[in-house]
Structure 1
Amino acid sequence: MSALEYMPEIGRLVKVLRGKDAGSYAVIIQVLDERFVLVADGDKRRFDQSKKKNVLHLLMQPVVSPEVADSMRETGRVTNAKLRYAIQKALQGKGD
């Protein structure tokens, strides 16, 4: 499975591969360009302190949270609780 299989898009769940957040999950809240996105997890990495990440350092998951995507489309922001919920829901579905 290649990293290019899933495109970076708002609401997509990602696993962080590099940096001090390595091994954790986050949600893409903004696509800056073809190389960089902003991610947040609603916990250690809140919406207001989102992290700019190189897409090469992220493992795109097959899950896109409609709650996060809709919220970003409608209001341009998303609550930290919604980010935590999206990650928790996705991980429960994965079973790891």
Structure 2
Amino acid sequence: MTEDNTVPQLGQIVRITKGREQNQYAVVINILDDRFVSLADGEKRKYDRPKRKNVNHIAGTPFISSEVRNSLLETNRVSNGKLRFAIAKYASEVVTDLERGDEHDV
């Protein structure tokens, strides 16, 4: 990942930095190997058709959705609604922090 050079985790919200979906957010739903992950956002990229993405083309955020992570670990599946909810929750927190004047990489 470009910002903190760590391996992404299940349920982590990431910002796509390269490609057609640049500057959009997605959730890591599978770690394929040390170089590739599967991403989905529950809207354009559904759980059953995730995007395979190089970790060098995404930027991690400090937000890891516990609901998504627990669902993936327990059942190996997650609903598209949970993915959309996790991204919306992260987006609302970032917007709230920016309105207060806190600086974040967005």
TM-score higher than 0.5: yes
Give yes or no for contact 2:41–2:84 (8 Å, CA) kept in 1: yes
What is the match of residue 13 of structure 2? 13
* Matching of residues 11-90 of structure 1 within 5 Å: 11-90=11-90
Tell me by how many angstroms 1:7 deviates. 3.1
How many residues are aligned here? Answer: 95
| SS of residue matched to 1:3 | coil
| SS of residue matched to 1:48 | coil
The ranges of structure 1 where at least 4 consecutive aligned residues each deviate by more than 3 angstroms after the TM superposition are: none
Tell me by how many angstroms 1:48 deviates. 0.6
Paired letter, 1:3: D
Tell me by how many angstroms 1:23 deviates. 1.0
Tell me by how many angstroms 1:40 deviates. 0.1
The percent identity for this pair of structures is 42
Give yes or no for contact 2:3–2:60 (8 Å, CA) kept in 1: no
Larger radius of gyration: 2
Tell me by how many angstroms 1:3 deviates. 2.6
What is the match of residue 2 of structure 1? 3
TM-score by length of 1: 0.94
Gaps of 5+ in 1: none
TM-score by length of 2: 0.85
